[in-house]
């Protein structure tokens, strides 16, 4: 399993992924799920992946090497717009499906992949897309500024309650880490280290790309402070007046 | 969908269920999922149900009318121990499966049911069980004092972080309501009104059985206070010292 979350906010993008891959409980490995396609000064694009590892690695490789779209071959470092970038990821997924899909299905393995693609190309809008296994996609908006793939439910309530499009980027980093911490606690197949990326709008270069291990003091502090704050918060809520019945 | 949560604590039981049933987005109804089998002074037993409504109603009816177990016919008001009560629920599920299961499967409808059964019979231990569609079951312990059925993921992080076996019963009511509120916000197929039950250990009668509608001032206050407390809590966490990079 996997958990990846991305927020597209007024000031920029925050993207966070775990690194655990599992093929049964006794085959647990660490693979990066965050793929960078940046050309400083011209573009910063990052893709996070969820699903069958062979499929997601093939898709990422194609996006580095070149995929045909509308009669031309592009990579994510060359594609002219973010919309075309999302189309290109969709085309890469469809290409992998055309090669591997039938054989996977013949062996009862689901063709399971989804991607979050965020970034900005010089002179264009900063955008965030979620691309599905069929190669189609949706886009985050100011109304719905975050997207999630993989094991998304445990970490969603805090985002539903606290995310706003205007929030500070590093407040959003805190929320993403809290959302991830909730997921890590509840699902063993989501695991450390984490990969965190922050992009500031109109910078055309990545502001921060950082790996957080279990010994990272800030991430440990987040988990501990958050648990303590939640316990304090529910204690502060008064008991119902029908409690005495 | 459904969300039901039950906590077996030092001082008693807390059980909470929603009431929404859906058969497609345009067929939404309200059905109680909490079934009481109490004989004040002798026993208080409650069962919460998740899954196909025709199956769960059949199981509840059988438990009122009588199910054969080890050559005798029992109801939940007559069964001598909570362990036998859990076996009886399992037997009722298997009986419904033997009648309806093959036809449901022939029509590609999953035989989908699970139950939480909590209570105490005079002179015996207070116990809480989760019974599966196969009729087998597990029991809550002091290490794992809560069990959930249905749409359990959204509401689990707060329970994972804050539940303890020794906590006050009405603090547990608050936690169960917070857990439910998180689920209601994230999944439209879980809906109000709620049904709440509180049982005090060795009382052999139900301490509180209350229905909470959307106009209930306490439940509204919980949702609002909790959102405010979470926003305050994440604001209070300092930003990382690598925020300036």
For residue B48, what is the domain's CATH number? 3.60.20.10
Q: Is the pLDDT of residue B92 over 90?
A: yes
pTM score of the predicted model: 0.92
Inter-chain residue contact A241 with B231, CB threshold 8 Å: no
Q: Is the pLDDT of residue A153 over 80?
A: yes
3-state secondary structure A55-81: HHHHHHHHHHHCEEECCEEECCCCCCC
Least confident of A23-32, A51-60, A206-215, B101-110: A23-32
Is A241 part of a structural domain of the chain? no
Q: Is the pLDDT of residue B245 over 60?
A: no
Domain that holds residue A24: 3-236
> With bands split at pLDDT 50, 70 and 90, how would you rate the model's confidence at B28?
confident
Is B75 part of a structural domain of the chain? yes
Q: Pick B154's closest partner by Cβ from A153, A170, A173.
A: A153
Q: Which helix (H) or strand (E) holds A15?
A: strand A12-17
User: pLDDT tens digits, residue range A8-57?
Assistant: 999 999 999 999 988 877 888 899 999 999 999 999 999 999 999 999 99
Give the burial class of A76: count Cβ atoms within 10 A of its Cβ; 0-12 exposed, 13-18 middle, 19 or more buried.
buried
The reported pLDDT for the residue numbered B42 is 98
Q: Which residues contact B66 (CB under 8 A, 6 or more apart)?
A: B73, B74, B75
Q: Is there a contact between B105 and B55 (Cβ–Cβ < 8 Å)?
A: no
How many domains does chain B divide into?
A: 1
Cα gap A238→A234, rounded to integer Å: 8
Interface with chain B: mutation pick from A163, A169, A237, A241, highest number of B CBs within 10 Å? A237
Inter-chain residue contact A171 with B243, CB threshold 8 Å: no
For residues B51-57, average pLDDT: 95
SS3 label, residue A116 = strand
The reported pLDDT for the residue numbered A1 is 83
The reported pLDDT for the residue numbered A45 is 98
> With bands split at pLDDT 50, 70 and 90, how would you rate the model's confidence at A244?
low
Counting one residue from chain A and one from chain B, the pairs whose CB atoms sit within 8 A come to 123
Is A133 part of a structural domain of the chain? yes
Please give the share of chain A, as a percent, with pLDDT higher than 90: 87
């Amino acid at each position: 399993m996997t958990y990846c979350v991305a927020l597209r906010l007024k000031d920029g993008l925050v993207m966070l992924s775990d690194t655990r891959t599992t093929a049964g409980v006794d085959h647990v490995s660490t693979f990066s799920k965050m793929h960078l396609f940046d050309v400083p000064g011209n573009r910063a694009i990052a893709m996070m992946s969820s699903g069958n590892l062979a499929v997601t690695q093939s898709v990422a490789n194609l996006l580095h090497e070149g995929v045909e779209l509308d009669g031309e071959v592009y990579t994510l470092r060359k594609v002219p717009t973010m919309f075309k970038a999302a189309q290109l990821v969709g085309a890469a997924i469809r290409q992998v499906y055309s090669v591997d899909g039938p054989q996977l299905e013949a062996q009862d393995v689901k063709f399971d992949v989804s991607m979050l693609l965020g970034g900005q190309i010089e002179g264009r809008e900063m955008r965030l897309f979620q691309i599905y296994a069929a190669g189609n996609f949706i886009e985050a908006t100011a109304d719905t500024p975050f997207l999630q793939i993989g094991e998304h439910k445990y970490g969603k309530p805090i985002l539903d309650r606290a995310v706003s499009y205007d929030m500070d980027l590093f407040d959003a980093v805190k929320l993403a880490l809290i959302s991830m911490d909730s997921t890590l606690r509840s699902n063993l197949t989501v695991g450390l280290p984490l990969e965190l990326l922050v992009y500031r709008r109109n910078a055309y270069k990545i502001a921060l790309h950082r790996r957080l291990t279990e010994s990272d003091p800030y991430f440990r502090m987040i988990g501990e402070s958050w648990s303590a704050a939640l316990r304090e918060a529910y204690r502060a809520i008064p008991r119902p007046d029908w409690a005495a019945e």
